[in-house]
Amino acid sequence: MEQTRLDTGRIRAARRLIDPVFLDTPLYRCEALEPGLGCAVSVKLETANPVRSFKGRGTEVVASLLGGEGAREVVCASAGNLGQALAWSGRGRGLGVRVVASRFATRAKLDRIRALGATLELVDGDHELARERAAEIARYDGIRLVEDSLDIETCEGAATIGLELADAAPSFDAVLIALGGGALATGVGHVLKALAPGIEVICVQPLGAPAMTRSWRQRRVVTTESADTIADGVAGRFPIPAVLDDLLLVADDAVLVQEASIIAGMRMLHDHAGLVVEPSAALGIAAVLEDRDRFAGRHVATVVCGSNVDVDAYHRWIGAARGKT
């Protein structure tokens, strides 16, 4: 295949930079989910670690390399999970971490960023404004800006999940991946296309934040005026051209799902798998719920990419969904 920016050898090497607490995460069949979905389902669980999301894989690579270069400080924009993970990785290496986030971000994520010792700055706008502000800080203070999905370490860190999935192939024939900025999708997709090309790589994004999916479909960057979804982790509006180029090479499909399906997916994962997940982590299940025929009789793996939720909102979501059935 045509080359992405990622390199499989470097991804294998990245494993050695990542704290083992983030590696070799559980991958297992959840048969209790299957009657409701009509297909075999395996879960790749990225929430049982100190920051409750897969982002530690990438920030460990970033912080290891920065530590080697003698950097003292780093800044990123974050919807909450990258900031938490970077705060964790930086703290262990004496690296100062500054995080810029929307003041509308999930409160539990912001609280954890502060608790991990990072400096948090809130902007009065959405994630795209936070990205602008972080870039401004980096320029003004001359410190490294970590740009999720653009910076190759974030993609190759996430790609280590792909190595673990490829090791388990061919037990499943499709992988469902949350699509936001694209680090997770291009990372996992790159490795699967390289090592297990028979597996279908399906990206899933909320209908309310469809910029990257529309871009993938039109093979050019499409931005949106707004993003309206509870899946805060994937609510970007401005796809990064280089990431789109990679995604075009590794994704077999990109689908959009409704908010109601995301909530139904969260509830199924709670009730039948005993998993608390954030909305982005339920996108794969939502995709199956919206297109059962496509997956009937197949075996899908879904990456449960994060579990950082505001408890009250979470219970509103899954409680309301329960009331409806």
Interface ranges with a copy of itself (CB under 8 A): 21, 24-32, 43, 45, 47-50, 52, 112, 115-116, 270-271, 274-276, 307-309, 311, 315, 319
Nearer to a copy of itself, 198 or 323 (CB): 323
Nearer to a copy of itself, 151 or 232 (CB): 232
Q: How far is the CB of 275 from a copy of itself (least distance, A)?
A: 7
Q: How far is the CB of 241 from a copy of itself (least distance, A)?
A: 35
Q: Scan for tokens 């390399």, then name that residue.
A: 65
Residue 312 and residue 260 in contact, taking contact as beta carbons nearer than 8 Å: no
Tokens of 175: 């992988």
DSSP state of 290: H
Q: How far is the CB of 314 from a copy of itself (least distance, A)?
A: 9
Nearer to a copy of itself, 113 or 138 (CB): 113
Q: How far is the CB of 118 from a copy of itself (least distance, A)?
A: 13
Tokens of 24: 């070799």
Residue 6 CA to residue 11 CA, distance in Å, equals: 8
Nearer to a copy of itself, 194 or 276 (CB): 276
Nearer to a copy of itself, 239 or 306 (CB): 306
Nearest Cα neighbor of 193 from 253, 249, 255, 254 is 249
Nearer to a copy of itself, 118 or 152 (CB): 118
Q: Edge-to-edge strands of the sheet including 96-102? A: 119-123, 96-102, 73-77, 144-146
Residue 185 CA to residue 155 CA, distance in Å, equals: 8
Nearer to a copy of itself, 23 or 242 (CB): 23
- CA 111 to each of CA 119, 240, 246, 253: distance values in angstroms, whole numbers, following the listed order: 11, 28, 33, 36
Q: How far is the CB of 45 from a copy of itself (least distance, A)?
A: 5
- CA 253 to each of CA 114, 134, 152: distance values in angstroms, whole numbers, following the listed order: 37, 32, 22
Residue 56 corresponds to which amino acid? G
Nearer to a copy of itself, 42 or 78 (CB): 42
Residue 173 CA to residue 191 CA, distance in Å, equals: 15
Nearer to a copy of itself, 40 or 194 (CB): 40
Q: How far is the CB of 258 from a copy of itself (least distance, A)?
A: 24
219: alpha, beta or left, given left = phi > 0 and alpha = psi -120 to 50? left
Q: How far is the CB of 30 from a copy of itself (least distance, A)?
A: 7
CA 282, distance to chain mean position in Å, is 11
Tokens of 204: 């899933």
Q: Scan for tokens 């972080």, then name that residue.
A: 134
Residue 43 CA to residue 177 CA, distance in Å, equals: 11
Phi, psi of 243 (to 5 degrees): -75, -40
Q: How many residues does the chain have?
A: 325
Q: How far is the CB of 117 from a copy of itself (least distance, A)?
A: 11
Strand partners, 120: 99
Q: How far is the CB of 60 from a copy of itself (least distance, A)?
A: 14
